[in-house]
Amino acid sequence: MAKLERIYTIPLGKAYDAVRNKRVPRAVKIIRTFMARHMKADGERILLSTALNAYLWERSIQKPPRRVKVRLVKDDGAIRAYLPDEKPEEPKKKEEKKGEDKKAEAKDKKPEAKKEEKKPEAPKAEPAKKETR
């Protein structure tokens, strides 16, 4: 599939119709529906970047921005949203080298002698004597 990239300004004013403590989650849902509608997503994954999410949550849950400018990228069965000046995140792929690297690092490290430190014992408190009158 060809890579499709567009920049949109998404209005989030309807997020303020929600209860105060649910405004940012509502704004995220508005962004996701906007992305699905404008990028013609049919069962594709819709992902927001961590920087975009941080921008939405910047002023707490009660005061999301009124509008947000985003760059939408459609590629390989997924739609990703970024801030306009943000560099795209590379999708994490599992590689066989990771397991090999860990083994090599383990061999390079020398086992350090474990030192057991004895803690000084605290003096035991003497039981209080009862005074009889």
Residue 69 lies in a domain: yes
User: Residue for token digits 């080298």?
Assistant: 97
| Number of domains making up the chain | 1
Q: Would you say residue 87 lies in a domain?
A: no
- By C-alpha distance, which of 24, 9, 123 is closest to 71? 9
Q: Is residue 60 part of a domain?
A: yes
Tell me what the mean pLDDT of segment 3-12 comes to: 94
What type of residue is 37?
R
Look at residue 13 in the predicted model and tell me its pLDDT. Answer: 95
- What's the CA gap between 22 and 26, in Å, rounded? 6
Confidence of residue 76 (pLDDT cuts 50, 70, 90): confident
Q: Is the pLDDT of residue 92 over 80?
A: no
CATH code where residue 57 lies: 3.10.440.10
In a domain, 96, yes or no: no
Inside any domain, residue 117: no
Residue 116 lies in a domain: no
Q: Is residue 113 part of a domain?
A: no
The pTM (predicted TM-score) of the whole model is 0.66
Look at residue 62 and tell me whether its pLDDT is greater than 80.
Answer: yes
Please check whether residue 8 is in contact with residue 72, taking contact to mean a CB–CB distance below 8 angstroms: yes
What is the chain's mean pLDDT, rounded? Answer: 83
Q: Is the pLDDT of residue 97 over 90?
A: no
Contact between 81 and 39 (Cβ < 8 Å): no
Please say if the pLDDT value at position 109 is more than 80.
no
Q: Which domain range does residue 25 map to?
A: 4-82
Is residue 48 a contact partner of residue 31, using CB atoms and an 8 Å limit? yes
Is residue 32 domain-resident? yes
Q: Is 129 a residue whose pLDDT tops 60? A: yes
Q: How far apart are CA 45 and CA 73, in angstroms?
A: 12
Least trusted range by pLDDT, from 15-19, 25-29, 41-45, 86-90:
86-90
What is the Cα 39 distance to its own chain's centre?
Answer: 24
Beta strands in the chain (DSSP E): 4-11, 45-48, 67-75, 78-82
